[in-house]
Amino acid sequence: MGDFVYTGPHVYITDQNHSYRDTETPVGLQWPADDPVRIGPGTWIGANAVILPGVRLGRNCVVAAGSVVRPGEYPDHSVIAGVPGRVVRRYDPEAGWMPPLRGPGPAGRPADDAADPAGA
């Protein structure tokens, strides 16, 4: 886990999961499977999110509240949301945030891209 990683309440991060390969043995009696988790620096993980074994989050990622992030690589500056979690937005140095936010934000405030004159 990198520096400046923040989590909301009730976040569950695990590097171990049950195994069910042997169909003749009860799942609870099978040896668990281990797969390390890497969480890049500057990442924010929202309330009630679940990070499963084998997840590799880049730096400055956001995991939306309630998301379940499955094993795999997630690039730097990505927003992961849903069940299962998927990248719904990410930052490209040339294009800015993709997809860009459109229109006014909540309560008539400008969207985050409109508030940043540099478009970053």
3-state DSSP: the chain helix, strand, coil percent, rounded to 5?
Answer: 10, 35, 60
Give me the catalytic one of 18, 34, 83, 115: 18
18 is known as an active-site residue: yes
CA distances from 62 to 17, 24, 27, 28, 31 (A): 23, 40, 33, 33, 32
- Tokens 């084998």 belong to 54
Residue numbers annotated as active site: 18
